[in-house]
Amino acid sequence: MQKNNYFSLSILTSLFFMMGLLTVLNDTLIPHLKELFELTYFQSSLIQFCFFGAYFITSSFFGKLIQKIGYQASVSLGFFIAACGCLLFYPAAKTQVYTIFLAALFVLASGVVLLQVTGNPFVTLLSKKEDTARNLALVQAFNSLGTTVGPIIGFYLILENANTIDEKIWSIQQPYLIIAIFLIFLALFVKFVVKLPDTRVIAEEISQTNNDTRTSAWQYAKLRFGALGIFCYVGAEVAIGSFLMLYLMEIANYTKSEAAHYLSYYWGLAMCGRFVGGALLNKCKASALLAICALMNVLVILLIVCVNLNAGCMIFIGLFNSIMFPTIFSLATKDLGRNTSQASGIICIAIFGGAIIPPVQALIMDYCDMNLSYIVPALCYLYILFFARKADNLD
C-alpha cells in the first residue's frame, strides 16, 4: 500500500461497510416478506433478482460515468442513490405492495452498484501491484463487517416483535430510514470534505508503462474468465446466504432467532477470513489459495447434503468465501491500466449471478428438494476451482 494513499483507502472502508450492510439485509427481508405476502421460495427469491439485476442493467453505464466524472464524485453519487432507494421503503411498506418493494430494492441496488464499480478499481489503482489482492481482501473485510452486523440489525429491527400488520410495516420502514440518513451524510462528506486522488491519471500511467495498446477490457482473456468466476461466486454466496435461515429452520429445526444468529456467523467467518486471507496473500500464491477455498466449499456442501453433516456447518462456507471476490477481481484486472474502470464495470455486470443463481436454486426447492438444490452452488464453486487453476496462464 502506497504510504500517501493510506487516508484514501481508509475512507473507502465506509463504502465497503455500507455495501455489505445494505446487501445482507436482503437475507433478513426474504423470510420476513415471504411470511408477510405468503410467497413461494421462487417469489421470495425475486428480492435478490431485482437487487442483483441492477448490476446487469447499470454496471456498464456506471463504468463509463466514472471515466467522465471521476472516482470521488461517483462515490458521493452512489451513496445518494442508495439513500433514495432506502427512502422508497417507506411508501413501499405503507402500501403493502410487493412490486413496490422490488422497485425500491432496484434503486437501492443501483447505488450499491455505483459504489462497487467505483470502489474495487479505486483500491486496485491505489495499491502497489504486488499488494493488490491483499489490499482488496483487507478493505473488503469491512464489507464483511457490514454483512456480519447486518443480520443482527435485521433481526432486532425487522423480525423480532413484528406480529401485527402495523408492527411489520414499521419494522421495515424504521431501519431503512435510519440508513438513508446515514447514507446522505456520507454522500455530503465525500463530496465536500475529503479529497481523494484522481486515479484516472494513475490508470493511464500504468498503460503507458506496460506499453499496452489494447483499447477494450474484453480483449483480455483473464478478464473474460474472471468475470464468469465472479458470476459463479456471487451467485453461490448470495444463494447460500438467502436461504440459510430457511434451511436451518426447515431442515434442522432451528428457531428464527438461532437461524438469524447463524446467518451472522456465516458473514462473520467471511470477515475473519478476509483479515486472515489478507495476511496469507502476502505469503501464498493468490490463485493457489483461491483453488483451495473453492475445493473446500465443494466438500462442505457435499458433506452436509449427502452425508448429513450438521446443517450449522454451512456457515463455514462463509470462511472459504472470504478471499474469493478480491482474489478473482485482482487476477482478472491485473495490469489493465486505462481499461480498469471498464473492466470493473464488466465484472460488476457479472455480479448479476446473484440475481440468477438464487432463483434457479429456489425452483429446485419448490419442485424437487431443498437438499438437492445445493448442487447449484456446488457447481459454481467447481468453476471457480477451474479458473483458479488456469488464471496464471491467461493474458
pLDDT tens column, 9-33: 667 777 788 888 888 787 777 877 8
Q: How far is CA 329 from CA 26, 137, 376, in A?
A: 24, 10, 22
Eight-class DSSP state of 155? I
Q: Which residue has the cell 441496488?
A: 109
Indicate the pLDDT class of residue 4, thresholds 50, 70 and 90.
very low
For the residues 266-289, what does the mean pLDDT come to?
83
- Compare 341 and 237 and report the one with higher pLDDT: 237
**From CA 347, how far away is CA 353, in angstroms rounded?**
11
pTM for the structure as a whole:
0.74
**From CA 13, how far away is CA 19, in angstroms rounded?**
10
**From CA 134, how far away is CA 12, in angstroms rounded?**
15
101-115, 262-276, 316-330: range with lowest mean pLDDT = 262-276
The confidence score (pLDDT) of residue 3 equals 45
Architecture of domain 3-393: Up-down Bundle (1.20)
DSSP 196-264: ---HHHHHHHHHHHTT-----GGG-HHHHHHHHHHHHHHHHHHHHHHHHHHHHHHTS---HHHHHHHHH
pLDDT higher than 50, residue 157: yes
Q: How does pLDDT run across 63-90, given as a tens digit for each residue?
A: 788 878 887 888 899 999 999 999 998 8
E strands present in the chain: none
> Cell triple for residue 128?
502497489
**From CA 313, how far away is CA 240, in angstroms rounded?**
12
Q: Shortest CA distance to 53 belongs to which of 103, 123, 17?
A: 103
Q: How far is CA 265 from CA 159, 329, 358, in A?
A: 17, 25, 20
The confidence score (pLDDT) of residue 52 equals 86
